[in-house]
Amino acid sequence: MGELSIVDALRNKRSELVGVMSRLEQQLAHHRGSLTHLDDHAAVRSRHADNRTRALIQKTVLASLSRAQGSVERTKVDGMVSWRVRQAA
């Protein structure tokens, strides 16, 4: 009789653990979905930040060019392109 109660206890424990594992798998699926949503949101924010950074750089460069006393010329030496301010004569 004692062996039957041990076997019953093990069966009950097994079914309890199956239920726990099932709930944990559901939670894992939910958390994966949340992470996917957060990754998508982070990618959108990153693109938005890149666009803002690019716009700020363009604005800064244009402001610097507008303050230049001379004209700006493009020079290319050995395949490298650079810009320099040519002073008015």
Q: How far apart are CA 74 and CA 17, in angstroms?
A: 72
Report yes or no on 11 lying in a domain.
yes
Could you tell me the pTM of the whole model? Answer: 0.42
What are 14's two structure tokens? 């097994």
**Domain presence at residue 53:** no
Q: Domain count of the chain?
A: 1
The confidence band for 87, taking pLDDT boundaries of 50, 70 and 90, is low
Confirm whether 23 is domain-assigned.
yes
Q: Which two tokens stand for residue 31?
A: 């958390």
Each residue's pLDDT tens digit, 13-71: 999 999 999 999 999 888 888 888 777 777 777 777 778 888 888 888 777 766 766 67
Domain region containing 17:
1-36
pLDDT band at 89 (very low <50, low <70, confident <90, very high): low
Q: Is the pLDDT of residue 6 over 70?
A: yes
